[in-house]
């Protein structure tokens, strides 16, 4: 195990919108170290959001992240030979990370019938999440339901 906590790295802001969370999002979209490809895909999605919703794309993006970020999650806790799913609050950085991960995986798993290209899928998923819809929101609601269902084990919190 690690002897002490790894220091948090300061991420550079993204070049167009100057947002730290958008920079994290781009890094998560990136595959095989191809940052420029990831940036172009995310910025195309932002342009599509601007055209379709007639709103500021960064505010739509931040609203989508805020809507998808979970408040509670369940963590397994072993007590006397039995494993319990204990509901715990999600801390700030993990909230963001989960929201980003769910948005990207939901966009990747969208069907190809209506959308060709990841940028269009991503734009559609971000707009759905900003309007409290979409599969990323369903994932959050499922996690909240599980945490609510296991409230009886909350006293096992450490």
**What are 4-14's pLDDT values in tens digits?**
999 988 999 99
Residue 135 pLDDT greater than 90, yes or no: yes
Summarize pLDDT for 20-66 with one digit per residue, the tens.
Answer: 999 999 999 999 999 999 999 999 999 999 999 899 999 999 999 99
Cβ-contact 14, 23 below 8 angstroms: yes
pLDDT at 40: 96
Burial of 26 (0-12, 13-18, 19+ CB in 10 A): buried
Side-chain-facing half-sphere of 97: CA atoms under 13 Å: 5
Q: Which residues are within 8 A (CB) of 50 and not within 5 positions of it... i.e. 6 or more apart?
A: 56, 57
Say how far apart CA 57 and CA 91 lie, in whole Å: 26
* Token pair belonging to 102: 């769910």
- pLDDT at position 113 is 62
Phi, psi values for residue 123, rounded to 5°: -60, -45
pTM for the complete prediction?
0.90
Domains and CATH numbers, the chain: 20-156 (1.10.455.10)
- Per-residue pLDDT tens over the stretch 86-130: 999 999 899 999 999 999 999 999 887 666 889 999 999 999 999
pLDDT at 118: 92
Task: Please tell me the predicted confidence (pLDDT) of residue 115.
Answer: 64
């Amino acid at each position: 195990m690690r002897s002490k906590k790894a220091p948090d790295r300061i991420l550079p802001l993204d070049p167009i919108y100057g947002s730290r969370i958008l920079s994290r999002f781009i890094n998560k979209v990136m595959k095989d170290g191809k940052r420029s490809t990831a940036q172009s895909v995310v910025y195309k999605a932002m342009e599509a959001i601007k055209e379709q919703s007639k709103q500021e794309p960064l505010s739509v993006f931040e609203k989508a992240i805020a809507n998808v970020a979970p408040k509670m999650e369940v963590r397994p806790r072993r007590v006397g030979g039995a494993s319990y799913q204990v509901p715990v609050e999600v801390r700030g950085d993990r909230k963001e990370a989960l929201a980003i991960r769910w948005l990207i995986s939901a966009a990747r798993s969208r069907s190809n019938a209506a959308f060709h290209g990841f940028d269009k899928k991503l734009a559609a998923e971000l707009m759905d999440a900003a309007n409290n819809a979409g599969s990323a929101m369903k994932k959050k609601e499922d996690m909240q339901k599980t945490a609510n269902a296991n409230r009886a084990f909350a006293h096992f919190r450490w």
